[in-house]
Amino acid sequence: MTQPDVTLPRVRYMGFPFRVGADGANSAARFDHIRQQVEQVLFTSPGERVFRPEFGFGARRHVFEPNAGALWEYAQNRLYGSLAEALAGEVDPKTLQVEINAPQDRPEVMLVRVRYVIAALQKEELHEIEV
């Protein structure tokens, strides 16, 4: 007796930013969805969401701050806390690493590096985002 060919459905997540096209709402695969969650936390300012006023990091407000080590450390700790909460269940919290600094040759740029391991798949991801 042969086993039936069972293929698991590809799970799709709601894409960010939310858009509706001819085929309906845009969607994203799991890895893209997690990266989009990182971007949501990074670019959403606290107080911007009515029912979750503490959500977000608010990268835009840090852009015009002085380029100093103390500021980077404060921002790094704040972003780490926001990401740990937002990515709970998707990312192994022990592997979450956040680094914020300015490249030597471009001090006007805030470079954010986020590294984590996806808990269910044990796959490491690294994102570098310039603000």
Residue ranges for the chain with pLDDT beneath 50: 1, 4-8
**What integer pLDDT is reported at residue 83 of this predicted model?**
94
State the pLDDT at residue 67. Answer: 67
What's the chain's Rg over C-alpha atoms? 18
The Cβ-side half-sphere exposure at 75, using a 13 Å CA radius, reads 29
pLDDT in tens, 74-107: 889 999 999 999 999 999 999 999 998 888 888 7
d(CA 125, CA 131): 19
Overall fold of domain 13-130: Nuclear Transport Factor 2; Chain: A, (3.10.450)
Residue 125: predicted pLDDT: 95
**Could you tell me the residue ranges of all domains in the chain?**
13-130
Separation CA 120–CA 33 (nearest Å): 15
